[in-house]
Amino acid sequence: METRRLQVLVELARLGSMRAVADTLRTTTSTVSQQIATLARETGAPLVEPHGRRVRLTPAGRRLVEHATVILAAVEAAQRDLSADAEPSGTLRVAGFATGLRAHLLPIVATLAEEHPRLHVLVREHEPAEALALLAEDEVDLALVYDYNLAPAAPDPAVKAVPLWTAAWGLGVPASESDAGPATSAEVFARFRSADWIGNSRNTADETVIRTLSSMAGFSARLTHRSDSLDLVESMIVAGLGVGLLPADRPTAPGVRLLPLTNPEVSLRAYAVTRRGRSDWPPLALLADLLRRRARDDHPGPRRPRSTGPGSQGPGDRPAPEQ
């Protein structure tokens, strides 16, 4: 049943004549009669009956008017909720990597709860490949993901990626190791050609970076340990189990030294990813804007991601395990 026909029936119940309905809806009496007749065929019940020179609703017609009033009110409410200038409301589902959720999303959620109490955010912790799969299956509305400049993800035309921030990463080694001073990434890696290496247990991006740089240094890194927790990676390093990539923008644990990686540098790039055609939905538009603002405030200066990522040049996996 079309809502337009239901509107005609509701107006007939209110005004009492087809001519009055035609005048109100700026159409013809014949069109009103056709709409009512079509609606009767769709419902399988007569909706009007002759009453002198006019018509009146049958019991089925009056009952349908009750339903139509509720339906039309719901449609109007939905249109208000979904309009571009509507107050954000409803449930917004987000999946993302732990460090991004903790540092960037959770503070925003607290603000949203105060300023937009009709908007509810559901949060799920997932590594990028997992979050993007949930987005593709329409299980979430926004994926907060990352990749590396040395391990870019493949483009995906089905999604739109908004660059948020970049962050430099270095090589975490035992504090007993000396800092040999300025060196290229390959030279830093070459010092640990005989070491065991620690990768991520839930994605492959950091392993790709490690293998790329070790290849530049003329060896194949021996990846023997894996963890998706940065705290655990540091504990492994302190325990002498190996070396691994760590972010440069957080303090390292006692017993861990971070060696900078340059020429080439290693940068993590964060993105907010949505399915194409949905970014104008008020809750999504609001959250994406708040994430951009927080990223700008927390990561000022030129270290912003280029327009790569899913939907442009895409994120795939990104090593940002738990902190």
The CATH number of residue 54's host domain is 1.10.10.10
**pLDDT tens by residue, 254-301:** 999 999 999 999 999 999 999 988 888 888 989 999 999 999 887 765
**pLDDT tens by residue, 51-71:** 877 888 999 989 999 999 999
Q: Are residues 239 and 151 in the same domain?
A: no
Residue 282: its pLDDT value, please?
Answer: 85
**pLDDT tens by residue, 163-205:** 999 999 999 999 999 887 789 999 999 999 999 999 999 989 9
Residue 298: its pLDDT value, please?
Answer: 78
Asked whether residue 64 is domain-assigned, the answer is yes
Q: Are residues 171 and 229 in the same domain?
A: yes
34: which 2 tokens?
């056709």
90: which 2 tokens?
């409803």
Q: Are residues 258 and 172 in the same domain?
A: yes
Q: Are residues 161 and 275 in the same domain?
A: yes
Beta bridge partners of 160: 274
Q: Is the pLDDT of residue 318 over 50?
A: no
Residue 1: its pLDDT value, please?
Answer: 77
Q: Is the pLDDT of residue 312 over 60?
A: no
The region of weakest confidence among 13-17, 136-140, 190-194, 222-226 is 13-17
Q: Is the pLDDT of residue 228 over 70?
A: yes
In the chain, pLDDT over 90 holds for what percent of residues? 61
Range of the structural domain that residue 150 is part of: 90-166+270-298
Q: Is the pLDDT of residue 306 over 50?
A: no
Does the predicted model carry a pTM greater than 0.75?
no
Q: Are residues 112 and 257 in the same domain?
A: no
In terms of DSSP H, where are the helices of the chain?
3-15, 18-25, 29-43, 59-82, 98-100, 106-115, 128-136, 185-190, 205-216, 230-238, 282-298
CATH number for position 109: 3.40.190.10
Q: Are residues 21 and 100 in the same domain?
A: no
Residue 101: its pLDDT value, please?
Answer: 95
Residue 315: its pLDDT value, please?
Answer: 38
Count up the domains in the chain and report the number: 3
